[in-house]
Amino acid sequence: MNNIINKNSLIGFLMAGDPDLDTTKNCIISMAQAGAGLVELGIPFSDPIAESTVIQSANIRALKSGTYLNGIFSMIEELRKITDIPVIFHSYINPVFNYGYENFFKMCAQTKVAGIVIPDLPYEEKSEIKEYADKYGVHIISFVVPTSEDRIKQIAKEATGFIYFVPSIGSTSALGDNSREVMSDIELIKQVTDIPIALGFGINTPAQAEYFSKIADGIIIGNAIVKIVEKHGNDSPSYVFDYVKEMKAVLK
Amino acid sequence: MSNTKFGEFGGQYIPEILMGEIKKIESAYEHYKNDETFKKELNDLLNKYANRPSLLYFAKNMTEDLGGAQIYFKREDLNHTGSHKINNVLGQVLLAKYMGKKRVIAETGAGQHGVATATAAALLGLKCEIFMGLEDTVRQSLNVYRMELLGAKVHAVTFGTQTLKDAVNEAMTEWAKRTEDTMYVLGSVMGPHPFPTIVRDFQSVISAEARAQILSETGKLPSVVMACVGGGSNAMGMFYNFINDKDVKLIGCEAAGHGVETEKHAATITKGSVGIFHGMKSIFCQDEHGQIAPVYSISAGLDYPGIGPEHAYLHSIGRANYVPVTDDEAVDAFEYLSKIEGIIPAIESAHAVAYAKKLAPTMKKDEIMIVCLSGRGDKDVAAIAKYRGRIINE
């Protein structure tokens, strides 16, 4: 399977259905127009334990608007009439399990969803979905974190699509201090694989994006975009466009 | 790596950020569970601090009143801190200490596990922080103060349903931020492997004692062994050493709240379906989209939308049965046991007493039933008074 990001990719996160699926669709179109390379689309879950409070609240808003997988797939079908921008899902395993793995990955293939990141499905439990993901050619994107330690190589060796690297837990103030550790973990990954690495940990200013784009292939922007949607609701698409365009301008 | 599942249930469905630490706990536990020094220290704590072995008490009045099976209670309510929770926390906090941790965190529903963890941390010299749903801090305010007296910091969790499920979410999130010096002391036979196994092993002292006690007192095994089930730690402890005794029926009593025909219940096995949540594949109360359902029970300790994976397994192979018990039935049993035996049970345990009341009369007089009295009811007195329309100061 091919890699799904390139050097200097901007990956933008959106919670599907926040505040409704129409707005999400228009935000994705805005992101594509502003130069994002990939959209990471959250599937809302009642108990998103591994998220920032910003994204936890987006989960709750999306569930309030009655957003479930069927609606999300229909929205992507509509989206595909307008743009082919690569999309991956970000979902907890339980909604996918309940939808049925066969159905879920079949629908991913049909709507050209290229991959899925699952915060509560570590390497050790990948066999839960691997057979289905492989059958339909959908990447299971692997997380790597600093505490993965000796597991970094093991995970990286089998990873496809790109590696989702989370250097620390949401602390952006200490970016400078962390950069050495970030570099050494990235070196470890690069020893065993050629696939691209994307960094996600609360990057929100062009200066940060520029700095980290030199270290990694892709930059994931989550909280900053979700905050824009939280603030502007249905009017978000134009604000999302402006923001992504500004961030993308430094990635070259 | 050891087997992480019970049949199809269990596993390690947790964020990558916790995997490294979980593996360290797994290997530390595999080592220390066979370590003579560790075993002796734990055994001393159980016997010389926690008041083990607990009594196996013959409930003569209740047996005569119901006119069926001989009813025995395994008196976990007589343990130090007033419930079975101490068995597990002494083991886990000791393990944390052997692993060099300086701080323990825990979730709590009714507050029993929080109190027990705070107690063990105070004794063994570790810092302690407890996560508790805001709603639970209100209905169990006495236990909040108790934890604070013991030197623990209590965090009221305001996200979601503000009960046990959310306390677990918050404790896991906190743990992910700080694993180097911190151990998560899980309160039930749930979560990712190895927790369901660790907690079960530490709680299995209940059935190890009960089995020996009933054999020495009556010369035979019970027909029925019963316990209340939320996450299922006292039940798993009560069942474990009877699992291979095929003629002993194992019954778990789930919280049916206002009734399983309503939406206000926490009857996981009766009403739930297979899912993956809180680190484990098991059975959960959830909607058709896989969203975890808000659950309800008068008992904060049973107010949880899932059940430990080994229970899901015992259910799936037909080795154990799980029955729903409503708030009303549990409150009746709470009052009944107080009056007939002079024992005020925890409202959690009263769910098992309620089913015992139903089942005992249908059994023969030479049959034996053992019910686990998982905790004492002092903490529930004000809430039960309120349920009966009386407001009293705690």
Tell me the CA distances in angstroms from B296 to B159, B301, B341, B346, B351, one per residue in order. 16, 11, 29, 17, 14
Cβ atoms of A84 and A56 within 8 Å: the answer is no
- The pLDDT of A54-73, averaged and rounded, is 96
Check residue B286 and report its DSSP letter: B
Q: What is the number of other CB atoms lying within 10 angstroms of the CB of residue A1?
A: 13
Mean pLDDT over the full length of chain A? 92
| Per-residue model confidence as pLDDT tens digits over A198-214 | 998 778 889 888 888 88
List, as own/partner pairs, every contact residues A168-173 make where C-beta atoms lie below 8 angstroms and the sequence separation is at least 24, other chains included: A168/A201, A169/A201, A169/B17, A169/B176, A169/B177, A170/A52, A170/A201, A170/A202, A171/A201, A171/A202, A172/A201, A172/A202, A172/A203, A172/A204, A172/A208
Query: Is B11–A125 a contact, with Cβ atoms under 8 angstroms apart?
Result: yes
In the sheet that B56-58 helps form, which strands lie side by side, from edge to edge? B56-58, B70-75, B368-373, B224-229, B249-257, B320-326
A205 contacts chain B (CB < 8 A): no
The pLDDT score that the predictor gives to residue A149 is 79
- Indicate if B51-82+204-387 has the same CATH topology as B5-47+85-199: yes
The number of C-alpha atoms within 13 Å of B163 and in the hemisphere containing its C-beta is 19
Q: What is the pLDDT of residue A173?
A: 41
Beta bridge partners of B157: B133
Contact A206, A249 (CB under 8 A): yes
* Confidence at residue A174, expressed as pLDDT on a 0 to 100 scale: 42
The pair of structure tokens assigned to B184 is 């998560």
- Which of A94, A122, A148 is opposite residue B276, by nearest beta carbon? A94
Q: Is B149 on the interface with A (CB under 8 A)?
A: no
pLDDT digits (tens, 9 = 90+) for B58-94: 999 999 999 999 999 999 999 999 999 999 999 999 9
Domain span at A144:
9-249
Q: Report d(CA A135, CA A108) in Å as an integer.
A: 11
Q: Is B54 a residue of the active site?
A: no
In sequence order, what are the residues at sequence separation of 6 or more whose Cβ sits closer than 8 angstroms to the Cβ of residue A76?
A87, A111, A112, A113
Assess whether pLDDT exceeds 50 at residue A172. no
Domain count, chain A: 1
User: Under a CB-based contact definition with an 8 Å cutoff, are residues B273 and B293 in contact?
Assistant: no
What's this model's pTM, rounded to 2 decimal places? 0.95
Q: Is residue A61 part of a domain?
A: yes
> What are the domain boundaries of chain B?
5-47+85-199, 51-82+204-387
Q: DSSP labels for B166-225?
A: HHHHHHHHHHHH--SSEEE---SS-SSTTHHHHHHHHHTHHHHHHHHHHHHHHSS--SEE
Is the minimum CB–CB distance between A34 and chain B shorter than 8 Å? no
Pick the range with the lowest mean pLDDT from A72-81, A88-97, A145-154. Answer: A145-154
User: Would the CA dihedral through B163, A169, A59, A71 be positive or negative?
Assistant: negative
Q: How far apart are CA B375 and CA B356, in angstroms?
A: 16
Nearest to A98 among B12, B173, B275 (CB): B275
| Among A46, A145, A151, beta carbon nearest to B292 | A46
- What is the Rg, in whole angstroms, of the alpha carbon atoms belonging to chain A? 17
Q: How many of the other CB atoms lie within 10 Å of CB of B320?
A: 26
Give the ranges where A80-119 is alpha helix by DSSP (H): 93-99, 101-110
* Cα gap B273→B293, rounded to integer Å: 11
Does the domain at residues B51-82+204-387 carry the CATH identifier 3.40.50.2300? no
Q: Is residue A173 part of a domain?
A: yes
A136 contact partners, CB below 8 Å, separation of at least 6: A105, A106, A108, A109
Residues 6+ positions from B130 with CB-CB distance below 8 Å: B105, B106, B107, B108, B114, B117, B118, B147, B152, B153, B154, B155
Q: Which of B26, B54, B83, B85 is catalytic?
A: B85
In terms of Cβ atoms closer than 10 Å to its own Cβ (0-12, 13-18, 19+), residue A188 is middle
Interchain CB contact of B20 with A (< 8 Å): yes
pLDDT at A34: 97
In one-letter notation, the amino acid at residue B72 is Y
Evaluate whether B348 touches B375 at the Cβ level (below 8 Å).
yes
Asked if the model's pLDDT at residue A127 lies above 50, the reply is yes
Query: Is residue B316 among the annotated active site residues?
Result: no
d(CA A127, CA A93): 12
pLDDT, residue B162, reads 86
Asked if B255 and B230 touch (Cβ cutoff 8 Å), the reply is yes
- Are B267 and B295 in contact by the 8 Å Cβ rule? The answer is no
Q: Cα dist. A169→B177, B190, B236, B356, B376 in Å?
A: 7, 25, 36, 49, 41
Structural contact between residues A18 and A226, judged by C-beta atoms closer than 8 angstroms: yes
Return the DSSP state at B64.
Answer: H
* Inter-chain touch B16–A144, beta carbons under 8 Å: yes
Of A120, A123, A169, the CB nearest to B177: A169
CATH number for the domain harbouring residue A229? 3.20.20.70
Whether residue A1 lies inside any domain: the answer is no
Task: Give pLDDT, residue A180.
Answer: 67
Residue B227 · residue B238 · CB < 8 Å: yes
Asked if A56's CB is within 8 angstroms of B159's CB, the reply is yes
Residue B54 to residue B273: CA distance in whole angstroms:
35
| Chains A & B: contacts with CB separation below 8 Å | 97
For residues B308 and A177, the model is more confident at B308
Confidence at residue A177, expressed as pLDDT on a 0 to 100 scale: 53
Q: Is A188 helix (H, G, I), strand (E, B) or coil?
A: helix
Q: Is B23 a catalytic residue?
A: no
Q: Quick: pLDDT tens for B279-336.
A: 999 999 999 999 999 999 999 889 899 999 999 999 999 999 999 999 999 999 999 9
Residue A132 lies in a domain: yes
Segment A61-88 mean pLDDT: 97
For tokens 């059935």, the residue is B207
Phi, psi of B125 (to 5 degrees): 80, 35
pLDDT score of A35: 96
- Reported ipTM: 0.94
Fold for domain B5-47+85-199?
Rossmann fold (3.40.50)
Listed as ranges, residues in chain B with pLDDT below 70 are 1-2, 394
Interface of A with B in 109-148 (CB under 8 A): 119-125, 128, 143-145, 147-148
pLDDT in the model for residue B208: 98
Distance of alpha carbon A135 from its chain centroid, rounded? 22
More confident residue, B382 or A115: A115
User: Given a cut of 70, is residue A176 above it in pLDDT?
Assistant: no
Instruction: Check B107, B129, B170, B348 and give the catalytic one.
Output: B107
Q: Give dist(CA B66, CA B375) in Å, integer.
A: 23
Q: Is A229 a member of any domain? A: yes
Contact call for B19 and A151, based on CB within 8 A: yes
Tens-place pLDDT, residues A33-54: 999 999 999 999 999 988 888 9
CB B275 within 8 A of CB A94: yes
Q: Strand (E) positions, chain B?
A: 5-6, 9-13, 56-58, 70-75, 103-108, 127-133, 153-157, 182-184, 224-229, 249-257, 273-277, 279-284, 320-326, 368-373
